[in-house]
Amino acid sequence: MAIDGSHLRSSDRLVVRLFRSLEGGLVWVGVVLMAAAPALMWFSHDDRPWLPWVAGGLLLVGISLNGVVGWKHKRLVDREAEAKGRAARRSNAMQTIMVAALHTLMHELDHVDFTRARISVYRHKDGHFIRLCRESKDLELARPGRNRYPVDEGLIGRAWRSGTAYVRDLPEDRSEWESTCHEDWNINDQTVGGIQMQSRSLAGIRLEVTGTNPRMIGLLVVESLDPRGVKGEVMDVLRTSTATHLVNHVLVVAVTCLDEEDVDGFRQSTEL
């Protein structure tokens, strides 16, 4: 079984790297020694009475080396499986808290009809946004959508730059809506055509790490199919709700404390 090593501690990763470089060699040394033992026995004579002992010694060393390699390999495989399990549990725990916080926000935004609206959390990574979590009472609206979102397009781009952004009364006509998205909101022409949800009112707020090393890490966005489904007061709730702070906090922990693989697992688990 191959060892990935990405879920292990850094000290274990070093062992894995050493193990990978030595593994083949040690196994072959063991095999050669075990093969050499009978050959040495064959050539043993009275004038070389120590040869059987050497042969026996080589056989023992060969068997031991293969045994050690096999044992070490199994131990690392087990340890990695445990680490992956821990990462999955951490991701699931984070996801559970995030989803609970989003449901609390949906409850607080009781004037928003979430059968026609959705709420999403995006993480900023490598110059793009990646959706981490999305909730709606309509399963179709809760579907994942695009893999990556450019930082300079649409309401998310504007909220990212200014901290908050809100728009309502976007056009009902699909072609008018597409040209508005393209011309006023800088969304790539080809991308606009592929957007499934024709959101006509949206509110977004930036999520940030505060303290000594402040930085922007993501966005929280509410969007509705209705022109006034998301009203201005949604912004007030998003800015002041403890549920928003919880979402922000979970994202901070996910981004700053978890390994990349854990955060990726977090995202994947929300797509189940």
Partner 1 sequence: MKVRATTSFSVESSTDPITYDYLRAVVTEALSRLASEHDLVDETSITPGGDGGRADLLVVELDIVFRSDSYGAVDDAMLKLAQHIASVLETEPTSPRIASRETQLVPA
Contacts 24+ apart (CB under 8 A), 78-86: 79/8, 79/12, 80/3, 80/4, 80/5, 80/7, 80/8, 83/7, 83/8, 83/9, 84/7, 86/7
- Cβ 158 to partner 1 shortest distance, Å: 7
CA atoms of 236 and 258, how far apart (whole Å):
31
Does 236 help bind partner 1 (rule: CB under 8 A)? Answer: yes
Q: Are 144 and 134 in contact (CB under 8 A)?
A: yes
Question: Can you say whether residue 48 is alpha, beta or left, with left for phi > 0 and alpha for psi between -120 and 50 degrees?
Answer: beta
Size of interface with partner 1, in residues (CB under 8 A): 20
Closest distance to partner 1 from the beta carbon of 175 (Å): 15
241 touches partner 1 (CB under 8 A):
no
Q: Give yes or no for residue 173 binding partner 1 (CB under 8 A).
A: no
Taking the complex as a whole, the smallest distance from the CB of residue 213 to partner 1 amounts, in Å, to 23
As beta bridge partners, residue 171 has none
Q: Which range binds partner 1 by CB under 8 A, 14-22, 41-49, 51-59, 234-242? A: 234-242
Among 16, 65, 156, 165, binds partner 1 (CB under 8 A): 165
The count of residues in the chain is: 272
Binding string, residues 63-82; x marks residues near partner 1 by CB under 8 A:
--------------------
For residue 173, the minimal CB distance to partner 1 (Å) is: 12
